[in-house]
Amino acid sequence: MTALLTVDNLVVDYGTGRPAVDGVSLTLAPGETLGLVGESGSGKSSIARAVMGLQDFSGSIRFEDHELRGLRARSFRELRPRLQMIFQDPYATLDPRMTVGAQIAEPLVTHRIVDRAEVRPMVASLLERVGLPGEVAARYPHQFSGGQRQRIAIARAVGLSPRLIVCDEPTSALDVSVQAQVLDLLEELQRDQGQAYLFIAHNLGIVRRMCHRVAVMYLGRVVETGPVDEVFDNPQHPYTKALLDAVLDPDPASRHAVSKVRADLTSPIDLVEGTP
């Protein structure tokens, strides 16, 4: 199967002495969910921003048949309906001065997805698709809970029928019960519409539930990748083992395992993907 997204030798460097992303290569197939895991600062969100055209990079990112590096703004706008993102913070995602209906409608009009006469019923349909009544389109973001705002953000993204949605910690700011509802919604949308997800998360339980494959990141590099059950049940890299032990072991002292491994893996030779 031809890859939907191919990342090859990606480097994102903020000029701080160590690249935030250092030679990462990944592939994502149509309809697949690839999880990116690793501690804060490992480079996950930098990859997301590079894929979305929000961050300069070197190396190669190909989406469908398009090389994104050096792509002109107009050409990137033409791709935008097929490449969407759901951000971490549902409170910062929406413009407080606009009704939620106007915010869902804006990309539909901008990208000419529907005629203007069809926008209002389309917005109502999208809201209902994510479990909200269509009449809430006239309300403003402050009138909604965090979980409801994230549903609105999802409605805005899926309205363009994207082939890939980058999910950057989409449930981390939500209560556990609301997290489950949003994850159910994302799974349902993938079944019905076939989107691929690049799914970034700290919560390994969520990654195991949502993802077909997983890539483990440490210091800007991928140290292990494979089918999610295979990686979680039989981790090969010591950093992956430490991450899993810190989550699965009820002993709080085990949380220090990640710090110990981090101290032991300062040499680039230890970061080669799949190193045992």
* CA 157 – CA 163 distance, rounded (Å): 11
* pLDDT the model gives residue 88: 86
Query: What DSSP character marks residue 86?
Result: E
Q: Which residues contact 34 (CB under 8 A, 6 or more apart)?
A: 26, 28, 196, 197, 198, 199, 211, 212, 213, 214, 215
Q: What's this model's pTM, rounded to 2 decimal places?
A: 0.87
pLDDT in tens, 24-68: 999 999 999 999 999 888 999 999 999 999 999 999 999 998 999
* pLDDT the model gives residue 273: 43
pLDDT in tens, 164-215: 999 999 888 888 888 888 899 999 999 999 999 999 998 899 999 999 999 9
pLDDT in tens, 82-128: 999 998 888 888 999 999 999 999 999 988 888 888 999 999 999 99
Mean pLDDT, all residues of the chain: 88
* pLDDT the model gives residue 249: 45
The candidate with the shortest Cα–Cα distance to 219, out of 256, 167, 265, is 265
